[in-house]
Structures are given as structure tokens and as C-alpha cells.
């Protein structure tokens, strides 16, 4: 009787939940044309010279308030390339293999290309082995109880309620397991934070909803916006790189220790590139530091990994790892493009 009632309740719940689940919107495809939210507050004051005026240099507005554009048009990812009639491949970099890319249906980690990534994947595999052993042990215990202590096999159960030895064992056992895991995982955690002798410092700033990069040694920076579907091919990406490829890319030389400084301008973001084993929260008012060393030339994608608002999923990260020579050429291009300086120029000017 009770079973029948339970089964009916279960079937009813299913019948109610299934149509609701079927009506869930397709999250992969946000409607691009219609505004998703209406901004509260007053309409902009036309007397304010900053309102309604189109500056000759669109970069100027970006400089004053980098996140203004994103707030004014909260209709989806913003890309500065939309009006660009001839989008060009960023910095004239040569073709690079796609390495840090998720694969359809893949279950394992993305290709690891740096010391921190190797270590984190090792720790993960190690913990998986421990977990598998625990699962086997607990399943064995369950089967043992089911077979030897059911009503038929054991009609008169024992009446004791305490067993000191057993209780000590099931307390100490897990504690020991945690100590073993911690002794392997904590050194890796500290390794991510101890920046070895760095050769390049890059500061990433999270905005709602894009990333900004500053090459602090060279006094220049740029922003990084997600590419729309029709912008992928001209920029050298494939259709499946939608939601990952960006207009600009952070460019770093191969086999170089990069000190990564991460912060945010509005809310908490997180700069994460799986292939480097790097994930660092960007917190407004704080400068967090981590590092990576990419040991293979190629293109790597990453994502903002701290829920940061409406377009959290539309602020991906693209990093291009290139040879030293290509990097030097790109650096020349970028210093020209963004008005940076070379450290030797600064020294010469000081003298």
C-alpha cells in the first residue's frame, strides 16, 4: 500500500517536472536582438556634455570609463570589431595550432602545457585513485551488510550500540586520508602563488563583461571582447570557437615565466586558463598574483570563472603563445598600436 502511494507520488512529480524542464530556454543561444534587461534609473541628462555626444576617437570614451559601453547596451556581448569593415588578424601573428581548446564530449582535462598544470592534474588523478578506493571499500561494506545481515541470514540481530575501537577507526581513517591528500595538494597550491623569477608581467582586469590587459613593463594595454559568429573566420578562428575566441589576444612568449596580476573594476571575476593550470580571482581593490609558464606554442582559451553578472559567459579569454622572435615583432606592433614605451627608452629619457 505504502509502496503504491510512493510510486504514484513519484510518477506525479515526474509528470509535473518533465514539461517544465522541456520548456527551459536554450541557454546556448541567447536572443541577440532583443534587450534582456531594462536599466533602472533616470534617463541621461541631455545637458551633460558627456551624454549623447559621439567622440571622434572611440578609444577616448573607452579610456574614461571602460565599462560605460557595456552598461549602455546590455543586450549581449559587445565587440569593438562589429563596425570594422576589415577586421584583421590580431597583430599579424602567424597561424598557430589550437591547443587549449575543449573538445566536444571530452571528459578529461585540456592539454596541460605548464609546470603548475602538470602538478594540478597529477594531484587530481591522485585524489581520483583515493576516491575510487573509498567507493570500492564502501560498496563492499554495503554488499557485506546486505548479504550477511538481512532478516533471513541474521534473524536475531546483536543489541550493542557502541564499539569504541570501530568509532576511533572511522574517525582516524578519514583524518589520515585528508592529511595524505593535503600533503600533496597544498604544495601545489603554494606553488601557484610563489612567482618564480619572472620575465614578463601582465595585469588582467575583469570588467562587466570583458577583460583588459596591461603589459606593465611597456606601458600599454588593450581590451578583449568576444567575437560574434560572423567575426570568427576573418579573425582566423573556426565556427566551433564561438563563445571562446576573442578579438584581441594576450600574447606571451613560449617557455617564459609570466607573472599574472589579476584584479577587477566592478565585481569579482576570475581569470582562468585551464591549460596553464591558472585560475585567479580578480577582486576590485586588490591585486592578486599568480604565474604560469607555457611550454608549447599555440592558442589557448579560458573563461571568466566567477559568476559576475548577465554576460558572465560572454567574456572568454584567448592567449596566444608564440616564439620569442614572433613575440618581439608583436611587441613592436603593440607598442606602436597602443602607445607603449620600451623600458630602455624610459631609462634613456631619465638620463
Q: What are the angstrom distances between the C-alpha of 344 and each of 12, 136, 209, 227, 350?
A: 74, 62, 35, 35, 10
Closest contact distance (angstroms) between CB of 332 and Cu ion is: 31
Specify the residue, 93 or 262, whose C-beta has the smaller distance to Cu ion: 262
Closest contact distance (angstroms) between CB of 315 and Cu ion is: 5
Q: Are 194 and 257 in contact (CB under 8 A)?
A: no
Closest contact distance (angstroms) between CB of 27 and Cu ion is: 17
Q: Are 294 and 313 in contact (CB under 8 A)?
A: no
Specify the residue, 269 or 293, whose C-beta has the smaller distance to Cu ion: 269
Closest contact distance (angstroms) between CB of 89 and Cu ion is: 26
Closest contact distance (angstroms) between CB of 113 and Cu ion is: 24
Closest contact distance (angstroms) between CB of 74 and Cu ion is: 14
Specify the residue, 201 or 205, whose C-beta has the smaller distance to Cu ion: 205
Specify the residue, 272 or 293, whose C-beta has the smaller distance to Cu ion: 272
Specify the residue, 234 or 309, whose C-beta has the smaller distance to Cu ion: 309
Closest contact distance (angstroms) between CB of 202 and Cu ion is: 17
Cβ-proximal residues to 102 (8 Å cutoff; 6+ apart), any chain = 110, 244, 301
The Cα 206–Cα 267 span in angstroms is 8
Give residues in contact with Cu ion (CB under 5 A).
Answer: 269, 304, 308
Q: Are 212 and 202 in contact (CB under 8 A)?
A: no
Specify the residue, 188 or 244, whose C-beta has the smaller distance to Cu ion: 244
Cell 598574483, residue located: 289
The Cα 68–Cα 158 span in angstroms is 72
Q: Are 323 and 96 in contact (CB under 8 A)?
A: no
Q: What are the angstrom distances between the C-alpha of 20 and each of 6, 26, 31, 118?
A: 22, 13, 20, 43
Q: What are the angstrom distances between the C-alpha of 148 and each of 76, 151, 155, 285?
A: 61, 9, 10, 61
Specify the residue, 269 or 272, whose C-beta has the smaller distance to Cu ion: 269
The Cα 301–Cα 319 span in angstroms is 6
Amino acid at each position: 500500500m505504502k509502496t503504491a502511494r510512493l510510486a504514484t507520488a513519484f510518477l506525479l512529480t515526474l509528470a509535473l517536472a518533465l514539461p517544465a524542464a522541456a520548456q527551459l530556454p536554450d541557454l546556448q543561444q541567447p536572443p541577440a536582438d532583443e534587450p534582456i534587461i531594462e536599466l533602472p534609473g533616470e534617463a541621461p541628462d541631455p545637458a551633460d556634455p558627456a551624454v549623447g555626444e559621439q567622440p571622434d576617437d572611440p578609444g577616448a570614451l573607452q579610456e574614461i570609463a571602460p565599462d560605460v559601453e557595456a552598461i549602455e547596451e546590455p543586450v549581449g556581448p559587445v565587440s569593438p570589431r562589429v563596425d570594422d569593415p576589415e577586421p584583421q588578424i590580431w597583430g599579424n601573428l602567424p597561424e598557430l595550432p589550437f591547443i587549449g581548446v575543449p573538445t566536444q564530449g571530452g571528459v578529461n582535462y585540456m592539454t596541460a602545457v605548464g609546470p603548475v598544470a602538470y602538478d594540478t592534474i597529477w594531484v587530481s588523478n591522485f585524489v581520483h585513485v583515493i576516491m575510487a578506493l573509498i567507493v570500492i571499500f564502501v560498496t563492499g561494506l554495503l554488499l557485506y551488510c546486505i548479504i550477511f545481515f538481512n532478516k533471513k541470514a541474521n534473524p536475531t540481530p546483536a543489541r550493542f550500540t557502541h564499539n569504541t575501537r570501530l568509532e576511533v577507526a572511522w574517525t582516524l581513517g578519514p583524518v589520515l586520508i585528508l592529511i595524505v591528500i593535503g600533503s600533496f595538494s597544498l604544495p601545489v597550491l603554494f606553488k601557484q602563488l610563489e612567482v618564480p623569477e619572472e620575465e614578463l608581467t601582465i595585469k588582467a582586469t575583469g570588467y562587466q563583461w570583458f577583460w583588459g590587459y596591461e603589459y606593465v613593463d611597456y606601458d600599454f594595454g588593450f581590451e578583449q571582447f568576444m567575437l560574434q559568429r560572423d567575426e570568427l573566420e576573418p579573425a582566423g578562428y573556426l565556427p566551433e570557437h564561438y563563445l571562446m575566441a576573442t578579438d584581441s589576444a594576450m600574447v606571451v612568449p613560449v617557455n617564459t615565466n609570466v607573472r599574472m596580476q589579476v584584479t577587477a573594476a566592478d565585481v569579482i571575476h576570475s581569470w582562468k586558463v585551464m591549460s596553464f593550470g591558472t585560475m585567479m580571482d580578480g577582486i576590485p581593490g586588490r591585486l592578486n598574483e599568480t604565474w604560469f609558464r607555457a611550454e608549447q606554442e599555440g592558442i589557448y582559451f579560458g573563461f571568466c570563472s566567477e559568476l559576475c553578472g548577465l554576460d558572465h559567459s560572454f567574456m572568454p579569454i584567448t592567449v596566444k603563445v608564440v616564439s620569442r622572435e614572433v613575440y618581439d615583432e608583436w611587441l613592436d606592433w603593440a607598442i606602436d598600436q597602443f602607445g607603449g614605451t620600451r623600458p630602455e627608452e624610459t631609462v634613456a629619457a631619465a638620463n
